[in-house]
Copies of this chain bind each other. A is one copy, B any other.
């Protein structure tokens, strides 16, 4: 028997639950492929529909617009990542070891997770690196936040913030440090590949160096 991981998504993110039908799952699967290939700007519902073999109207039955779809994918990613983290750090008692493990998970290219058949996590991870911030860098961020669209992201940062506090209860900026390492795990990766002058890893292009940088940053901060 195969385990299936189901993530309960905020209902306001979709018109019809894409995880509850075949077409819905295809929409998720193919949108990940297309956004990864062409970028979010060039991604349209028409292309997606053609790619799946359905019509534009068919997509609109699931998602109001492409922004909502991006927010959906982003929320899904953070929820999935939080599960990965809680799973993979489950037995670790020492908060420092735990934090190290988390940094590694944040900054490492993920492999496609068999537990979720329709979403390719490896591609989604790439998408979140280069398109993820566009989910909240908008004029509607306030509205979207009121509807709890960013809850998975905030939850993850909260969890990391608590572990930071467990490492050093006197440290004054656990939440900001948490959001810093989450953002930087992605940005330093993007810079390393695309704007290498902004990093110290341009030559080797090794994720391990990003991990070393983030560990240095965090554990010196907590000393």
Residues of A within 8 A of B (CB): 38-39, 41-42, 130-131, 133-134, 136-139, 141-142, 145, 150, 153-154, 157-158, 172-180, 183-184, 187-188, 190-191, 194-195, 197-201, 210, 212-213, 216-217, 220-221, 223
Known A-B contacts A138-B39, A187-B179; the reply to A173 vs B200 at CB < 8 A is yes
Cβ contacts under 8 Å, A137 to chain B: 130-131, 133-134, 190
A134: chain B residues at CB < 8 Å are 134, 137
A183 contacts across to B, CB distance below 8 A: 183-184, 187
Tell whether, in the assembled complex, residue A184 and residue B190 are in contact, meaning their CB atoms are under 8 Å apart.
no
Q: Say yes or no: A216 contacts B141, CB within 8 Å.
A: no
Q: For residue A42, which residues in chain B have a CB less than 8 angstroms away from its CB?
A: 139
CB contact under 8 A between A198 and B175, given known A139-B38, A180-B180, A184-B180? yes
Whether B139 contacts A195 by the Cβ 8 Å rule is no
A174 vs B221: C-alpha distance when bound (angstroms) = 16
Pair A217/B213 contact, Cβ less than 8 Å = no
Determine whether the beta carbon of B176 is less than 8 Å from that of A213: yes
Instruction: Contact check, A200 vs B220: say whether CB atoms are below 8 A apart.
Output: no
Q: Which residue of B177, B195, B197, B217 contacts A177 across the interface (Cβ within 8 Å)?
A: B217
